[in-house]
Amino acid sequence: MRRVVVTGLGVVSPVGSNKVEFFDGLMSGKSGVRALSAPFADKLSIRIAAEVDFDPSLHFSRMKVGSLDRFSQFALVAAKEAVTDAKLVLDESEQRRAGIYFGTGIGGVGTIEEGYVEIYTKEVPRFKPLTVLMAMNNAAASQVSIEYGLKGPNLTFSTACSSSSIAIGEACRLIRDGYADVMLAGGSEALLTYGTINAWISLRALALPDEQDISASCKPFSKNRSGLVLGEGAAVLVLEEAERAIARGATIYGEIVGYGSSSDACHITKPSQEGQVQSMRLALDEAGIDAKDIDHINAHGTATSVGDAVETAAIKEVFGDHAYRIPVTSTKSMHGHMMGATGAIEFMAALLCIRHKSVPPTTNLDIPDPECDLDYVPNVGRSGLDIRTIMSNSFAFGGSNAVLIAREFKP
Catalytic residues: 161, 300, 337
Nearest in space to 85 (alpha carbons), one of 16, 9, 17: 9
Helix (H) or strand (E) holding 297: strand 296-298
Per DSSP, the three-state class of 339 is: helix
Measured CA to CA, the distance from residue 8 to residue 82 in angstroms comes to 5
Q: Let me know if 322 is exposed, middle or buried by CB neighbors in 10 A (0-12, 13-18, 19+).
A: middle
Nearest in space to 329 (alpha carbons), one of 355, 294, 290, 284: 294
Q: DSSP string covering 171-234, please? A: HHHHHHTTS-SEEEEEEEE---SHHHHHHHHHHT-BPPPPSS-GGG---TTBTT---B-BB-EE
CA 331 from chain centre, in angstroms, equals 10
* Identity of residue 411: P
**DSSP β-bridge partners for residue 277:** none
- Kindly list the distances between the CA atom of residue 235 and the CA atoms of 8, 11, 129, 197, 374, in Å, as whole numbers in the listed order: 11, 4, 29, 22, 28
> Does residue 52 contact residue 213 with C-beta atoms inside 8 Å?
no
Q: Which residues does 91 contact at the CB level (< 8 Å), separation at least 6?
A: none
145-148 long-range contacts, CB within 8 A, separation 24+: 145/99, 145/100, 147/76, 147/79, 147/80, 148/79, 148/83, 148/88, 148/90, 148/98, 148/184
* Identity of residue 76: L
Measured CA to CA, the distance from residue 186 to residue 188 in angstroms comes to 7
Q: Which residues does 204 contact at the CB level (< 8 Å), separation at least 6?
A: 227
